[in-house]
């Protein structure tokens, strides 16, 4: 029985740590602005393309 209580206590500890990490992640994403440090790397997603992309098969 001592092993099962230690196992449950260990699982509770792991769950608590995951919950805290998730709360930190949510807080960080809530504080991040659109133009701030957390802005996406893709710029101009909806811009009009001047040309059509050509995909060529590599020969050789």
pLDDT of residue 24: 92
pTM of the model: 0.43
pLDDT of residue 16: 95
pLDDT per residue as tens digits for the range 10-59: 889 999 999 999 999 998 877 765 555 556 666 666 666 666 777 788 88
Q: Which pLDDT band holds residue 6 (cuts at 50, 70, 90)? A: confident
pLDDT of residue 17: 95
CA distance 6 to 60: 62
CA distance 57 to 52: 16
């Amino acid at each position: 029985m001592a092993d099962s209580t230690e196992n449950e206590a260990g699982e509770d500890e792991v769950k608590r740590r995951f919950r805290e990490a998730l709360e930190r992640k949510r807080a960080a994403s809530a504080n991040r602005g659109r133009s701030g440090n957390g802005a996406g790397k893709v710029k101009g997603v909806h811009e009009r393309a001047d040309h059509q992309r050509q995909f060529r098969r590599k020969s050789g």
